[in-house]
Amino acid sequence: MAAAAVALGGCLALAVPAGSAGAAPADPVPTVFFGDSYTANFGIAPVNNLGNEKGWCFQATDDYPAVATRTLAAKGITLDVQADVSCGGALVHHFWEKQELPFGAGTVPAQQDALKENTQLVVGGLGGNTLGFVNILKQCSDKLREPSLLPGEPVDADKPARECKEFFESGDGKEWLDYKYEQVEEELDQALQRMSYFSPDARRVLVGYPRLVPQDATKCQTAAPGQTELPFADVPQDALPVLDQAQKRLNDIMKKVATDDGAEFVDLYAHTGGNTACDGADRGIGGLLENSKLDLIGATIPWYAHPNEKGRDLQAEQVAAKIETLLNS
């Protein structure tokens, strides 16, 4: 469950009836959503598939795919959602390989298995888990290194958390990061090409990650209303810009891959700078150790820096706007 929890080619245009250029498609658009815990919106309850192994994906019933679908329906654009296969803990290669669930709970099929020949829209995001963002967080936090529901290990447990800025800016830490970015880029390219192979007529939309750390990182030294822990717990102040740059570089790589592959990109990072984990009442990201809406045997699971309901709605807004523009073009 911990792993599931956190975690953390060319395309043909959709046919538009003659004389209706710029109008919404008259027929429902066969759509598949894919992704990791940021698409599944880990932390928001209730959760889908509680009666079977897919419940371990912690896919919220009202994840942003569901909210975006309703938003579009209100505008006369109907998505025929063939599947939402987003799953907490998914790495990019789980797009084409089955994903092992924690505690021997079973597996979920490769996400590409949901694609059909008639699928016309594929939307979602992957990359953060392959980059190893949890490992980065644990490298920078003693509290996160303690036994918890958050999976993964620090990149180098022998290096103290207080020195993580230096670790990631030089030597082995920088080398590790550079390798992980290359891996993300190569695997995302493969995932996008597979979408075109299995669904030749599909428009593809790759969704980036919302911003976690604000430009003014000093805001992160104030707890959110009603909270006692700082948004990033004990992550050193000088390491917060490192986290932000890591996320920005991931976002830029995702955008580049999408552009190079002829896909669309939703730049959430660029639209959520005022709703980071450190924006108090306006935060769209739950703090690392802030209680989420999920319980496990009576214990509340922390957000671990995932979008809360406000953040989910911001995701849905941007994704729906991109889909509307795409389908009306």
Between CA 306 and CA 149 the distance in angstroms is 14
Among 51, 326, 313, residue whose Cα is nearest residue 206 = 326
Which run of H or E residues covers position 48? none
Out of 89, 173, 284, 311, the active site residue is 89
Q: Which residues are CB-contacts of 163 (< 8 A; sequence separation ≥ 6)?
A: none
89 counts as catalytic? yes
Out of 41, 48, 129, 308, the active site residue is 129
Between CA 22 and CA 76 the distance in angstroms is 13
291 counts as catalytic? no
Among 66, 26, 34, residue whose Cα is nearest residue 48 = 66
Between CA 85 and CA 72 the distance in angstroms is 20
Tokens representing residue 278 in the block: 């450190």
129 counts as catalytic? yes
Out of 199, 292, 306, 311, the active site residue is 306
Q: Is the distance from CB of 301 to CB of 262 less than 8 angstroms?
A: no
Out of 37, 48, 141, 275, the active site residue is 37
306 counts as catalytic? yes
Tokens representing residue 199 in the block: 């669904």
Q: Which residues are catalytic?
A: 37, 89, 129, 306
